[in-house]
Amino acid sequence: MKNIAVIGLGIMGLPMAVNLVNAGFMVAGFNRSQAATDKLAAAGGRGATSIADAVKDADAVITMVPDSPDVEAVVSGNDGVFANACKGTLWIDASSIRPDVAKRLSDDATAAGLRPLDAPVSGGEQGAIDAVLSIMVGGTAGDFADAADILGAVGKTIVHVGPSGSGQTVKAANQLIVAVNIEALAEAIVFLEAYGVDTDAALKVLGGGLAGSKVLEQKGQKMLDRNFDPGFRLALHNKDLGIVTAAAREAGVAVPLGAAVAQLVGSLVAQGDGGLDHSGLFKQAAALSGRK
């Protein structure tokens, strides 16, 4: 497989597409904003004029868009992926969407003659840039094997987790864990600063013990610097936590910490902070204690 189409060249999609170019694939990309398409072209890819143009010769199509309705919009209809990709094309949805929607769209893709994989990613913008994303993949074992080189060009930890929809279920669990950890880290830093502790030293030693995590490693300094430039926006994490709480309710599973953090994230988004990085939860944790 050499020809790859990437639909959605945002914070995650563009660096993934560039890494595919760097790995030797022929990459055609389409995005609603021309600027992102131009960046891909400058990196050696081809800027497509439409979804149909991007997927017409593709061996595999990767979609990377924000939410369930966005995925449905780019794959459905006369101008969508399903109507324009060749029979037998791999469709790899790297978006984070509802598991039930992933399963339904997988069935639609199969009916259209495509081979679907739901393959949401974790690792944020830096993980996408460095091609070290964790990728949790739902679909058939055969299609997963055929996608190995493509996924290996953008990720590091790549695991087949079950049939269609399973990747999105595991991603929802990932977003639950990450959100709770970010909130705990934010509260811990507010606590440390209240006592005048050397926070740089504190995070260093905490990172070497059981409290250490990727969240602490990647988000701790952002909180100390009050730098909430987006690597993964609060608005998107708010969407993901909505998926978690809805899916948990459907399964009859209690997620009390997840539900509490979902409310905190939703509150920040409602206050206009949805464009901040999800480490921006620190703003709220500090404000609750009368701090900045």
* Marked catalytic residue, from 171, 219, 239, 283: 171
Active site residue 171: yes
Query: Quick check: 7 pLDDT over 80?
Result: yes
pLDDT tens digits along 230-255: 989 999 999 999 999 999 999 999 99
pLDDT tens digits along 20-47: 999 999 999 999 999 999 999 999 999 9
Q: Which residues of the chain are in CATH 3.40.50.720 domains?
A: 3-162
Average pLDDT, the chain: 97
Query: What percent of the chain is predicted at pLDDT more than 70?
Result: 100
CA distance 172 to 59: 28
| DSSP codes joined into one string, the chain | --EEEEE--STTHHHHHHHHHHTT-EEEEE-SSHHHHHHHHHTT-EE-SSHHHHHTT-SEEEE--SSHHHHHHHHSSTTSHHHHSPTT-EEEE-S---HHHHHHHHHHHHHTT-EEEE--EESHHHHHHHT-EEEEEES-HHHHHHTHHHHHTTEEEEEEEESTTHHHHHHHHHHHHHHHHHHHHHHHHHHHHHTT--HHHHHHHHHTSTT--HHHHHHHHHHHHT----SSBHHHHHHHHHHHHHHHHHHT---HHHHHHHHHHHHHIIIIITTSBGGGHHHHHHHHTT--
pLDDT tens digits along 76-126: 999 999 999 999 999 999 999 999 999 999 999 999 999 999 999 999 899
CATH 3.40.50.720 fits 3-162, yes or no: yes
pLDDT tens digits along 134-187: 999 999 999 999 999 999 999 999 999 999 999 999 999 999 999 999 999 999
Global pTM value: 0.90
CATH T-level assignment (fold) for domain 170-288: N-(1-d-carboxylethyl)-l-norvaline Dehydrogenase; domain 2 (1.10.1040)
- pLDDT at position 231: 86
Q: Which residues of the chain are in CATH 1.10.1040.10 domains?
A: 170-288
The tally of CA atoms less than 13 A away on the side-chain side of residue 200 is 1
Query: Quick check: 75 pLDDT over 80?
Result: yes
